[in-house]
Structure 1
């Protein structure tokens, strides 16, 4: 196999394990063998083994001699520190978003959320779990795109790994519901609207509140909806 082919398989293995972590199919404290990852991802053992060093370096997996791989347990202190990191990065990205992002991109984000709010407010959602998953994926990608506006690959990678770890901890504490979805949509619209208008301070204040609310929920608390 060519070097390019090996690199592609390694990246695919990494991406599939990342997805397992994102969606809670691999949970903090869980021990899993490389063979089990082969069965779960549908990829080769060599591809899994190639991806593991990167996952270990990023703190997403730990090797346990004679036992396999363990998903690290992340405590309350980590959650607080991770959200502090998230706050620093996302708020720092606001000026770059205003300066560099095409207004059409922000307009599309706004339109999507307005339509999602209408869908959620009606009685015509035939598959609510699918809608909630769609919202979650859109949420993750939008926030990543916001950070990408900084055009700094080092910051983007730190943010991506931190976001994965936040999701790993949140899966055990957060149950995505219709009411939670309404709250997220409302909070997103609250910072996207001033972002569209180029109002830096208003966008920062609303984004900060959104992050605070998310932290409270990640710690097992409740917030007003």
Structure 2
């Protein structure tokens, strides 16, 4: 296999592992063997062995002597560090987005949120919660993507996995908090619509600190 083929396999293995984490088929703190990773990621042993150093470097697993590979566990230190990094990245990103995003992109994000809130007035179904969670991630991902900075995007992607693990374990969107979270998003989107970068930064900071506080208190 050529270098591009090996790289593609490593990327697929990383994506498979991330999906297992985010769907909670692999749990935070769980111990795994290389053999189990081969089976769960549907990749070869050679690919998994190449994957492990990257997962360790990204802080997603840790090798424990005599015990195997431990998936990162959710603790106060991880929550603090992940949210602090998120705040740094997204405050810069929202400032750029406010100045450079197309009106159409802002309108699409706003319409997506308003449509979900309108449906929530009738009934908050499991399907609607899934749509709301997707809209949440879509907003934050779009803001980072607009920076068009590969280094920042890569850092964000790894941290986003940790944030989403924390959210899944602590404070994922549910019927009781959907309106609050989306009202915070609408405050961000309203500032973007007005092209008010300072207000957008302040609203994003308020939103992230609120999520951090909820993660600590749950």
Taking structure 2 as the reference length, the TM-score comes to: 0.89
Q: Which residue of 2 aligns with 1:129?
A: 126
Give, in angstroms, the shift of residue 66 of structure 1: 4.3
The residue number in structure 2 matching 1:186 is: 183
Partner of residue 156, structure 1: 153
Report the alpha carbon displacement of residue 38 of structure 1 after superposing the two structures with TM: 2.6
Distance in 2, Cα, partners of 1:216 & 1:118: 27
Q: Is the 8 A contact 2:98 2:200 kept in 1?
A: no
Contact kept in structure 1, 2:95 and 2:200, CA below 8 Å: no
Q: Give yes or no for the alignment of 1:86 onto 2:83.
A: no
Summarize the alignment of residues 27-38 of structure 1 with structure 2, pairs less than 5 Å apart: 27-38=27-38
Aligned length: 218
Aligned-residue Cα RMSD (Å) equals 2.0
Q: Describe how 1:137-216 pairs up with structure 2 within 5 A.
A: 137-216=134-213
Segments of structure 2 that go 5 or more residues without pairing to the other structure are: none
Once the two structures are superposed, what CA deviation does each residue of 1:84-112 show, in whole Å capped at 9, x if it has no partner?
22112111122211222212111110011
Residue 115, structure 1, aligned to residue 112, structure 2: no
Kept in 1, the 8 Å contact 2:95–2:198? The answer is: no
Structure 1 segments unaligned to the other structure (5+ residues) = none
Alpha-carbon distance in 2 for matches of 1:194, 1:33: 48
